[in-house]
A and B are shown apart, each in its own frame.
Chain A
Amino acid sequence: METIDLKKTTLRELNKTLQSKGVMKISSEWEIQNPDGCHALAVGMSDPINVIIKGSTGYYCGGMNKNANIVVKGSVGPGVCENIMSGSVTVEGDASQYAGATGNGGVLVIRGNASSRCGISMKGVDIIVEGNIGHMAAFMAQSGNLVVLGDAGETLGDSIYEARIFVRGQVQSLGADCVEKEMRPEHKKILQKLLRFANADVRIEDFRRFGSARKLYHFKKKNIRGY
Chain B
Amino acid sequence: MSDESNQRTIPVKSWTFDDYTNSYIRRAAETGIYDIRGGGAKRKVPHFDDLLFLGASMSRYPLEGYREKCSTNVTLGTRFAKYPIRLDIPITIAGMSFGALSAQAKEALGRGASAAGTSTTTGDGGMTPEERKHSSKLVYQYLPSRYGMNPDDLRKADAIEIVVGQGAKPGGGGMLLGQKINNRVAEMRNLPKGVDQRSACRHPDWTGPDDLEIKILELREITGWEKPIFVKIGGARPYFDTALAIKAGADVIVLDGMQGGTAATQEVFIEHVGQPTLACIKPAVKALQSLGMHRKVQLIISGGIRTGADVAKAIALGADAVSIGSAALIAIGDNNPIWEEDYKLLGTTAGAYDDWQEGKDPAGITTQDPSLTKRLDPKIAGQKLQNYLNVLNLEAQTIARACGKSHILNLEPEDLCALTVEAAAMTEIPLSGTNWIPGK
Contact = CB atoms under 8 A, between A and B. Distances in A.
Q: Do A and B touch each other in the complex, judged by CB within 8 A?
A: yes
A206 to B, nearest CB: 29
B203 to A, nearest CB: 9
B180 to A, nearest CB: 8
Given A43-B221, A120-B204, A159-B198, A219 B177 contact: yes
Interface string A39-61: 11001101000000000001110
A134 interface: no
A79 to B, nearest CB: 4
Contacts of B191: 142, 161
Contact of A219 (B149, B178, B206): B178
Contacts of B205: 60, 78-79, 82, 98, 101-102, 120
Q: How large is the interface on B (under 10, 10 to 19, 20 to 34, 35 or more residues)?
A: 20 to 34
Interface string B412-425: 00000000000000
Interface stretch (A11-19, A167-175, A179-187, A195-203): A11-19
Contact of B33 (A12, A63, A219): A219
B196 A16 contact: no
Given A66-B151, A83-B149, A120-B205, A39 B218 contact: yes
A123 interface: yes
Contact of B221 (A40, A142, A218): A40
Nearest to A61: B218
Given A39-B218, A85-B150, A142-B191, A12 B225 contact: yes
B65 interface: no
Contact of A98 (B194, B204, B222): B204
B198 A40 contact: no
Contact of A63 (B32, B145, B178, B218): B218
A117 interface: yes
B195 interface: yes
A224 B145 CA distance: 23
Given A43-B221, A85-B151, A219-B196, A123 B175 contact: no
B224 interface: yes
Contact of A44 (B178, B206, B217, B222): B222
Interface in A107-133: 117, 120-121, 123-124
A46 B152 CA distance: 9
A145 interface: no
Central interface residue in B195, B218, B224, by most chain A CB within 10 Å: B218
B438 interface: no
A118 to B, nearest CB: 11
Interface string B350-375: 00000000000000000000000000
Main secondary structure of the interface of A (DSSP, over half): loop
A79 B222 contact: no
B204 A39 contact: no
Nearest to A227: B175
A83 B146 contact: yes
Interface string B128-157: 000000000000000001100111001000
A46 B204 CA distance: 23
A143 interface: yes
A12 B225 CA distance: 9
A85 B222 CA distance: 13
A46 B222 CA distance: 11
Contact of A83 (B150, B178, B214): B150
A221 interface: yes
Nearest to A119: B204
A149 interface: no
Interface string B147-187: 00111001000000000000000000011011010000000
A12 B218 CA distance: 11
A6 interface: no
B177 A64 contact: no
B190 interface: yes
B222 A221 contact: no
Given A12-B225, A43-B222, A140 B198 contact: yes
A218 B217 contact: no
A217 B196 contact: yes
B218 A217 contact: no
Contact of B149 (A16, A19, A43, A102): A102
Q: Which 8 A-B pairs have the closest CB atoms?
A: A44-B222, A219-B177, A98-B205, A79-B205, A101-B205, A102-B146, A64-B151, A40-B218
30 contacts: A11-B221, A15-B221, A15-B222, A40-B221, A40-B222, A43-B218, A43-B221, A44-B151, A59-B218, A78-B205, A78-B206, A82-B204, A82-B205, A85-B151, A102-B149, A102-B204, A102-B205, A117-B204, A121-B145, A121-B204, A123-B146, A142-B190, A161-B192, A217-B192, A217-B194, A218-B180, A219-B177, A219-B196, A221-B32, A224-B33
Given A16-B224, A60-B218, 14 more contacts: A40-B214, A46-B151, A59-B218, A60-B214, A101-B204, A102-B204, A120-B204, A140-B200, A142-B190, A217-B192, A217-B195, A217-B196, A218-B180, A219-B178
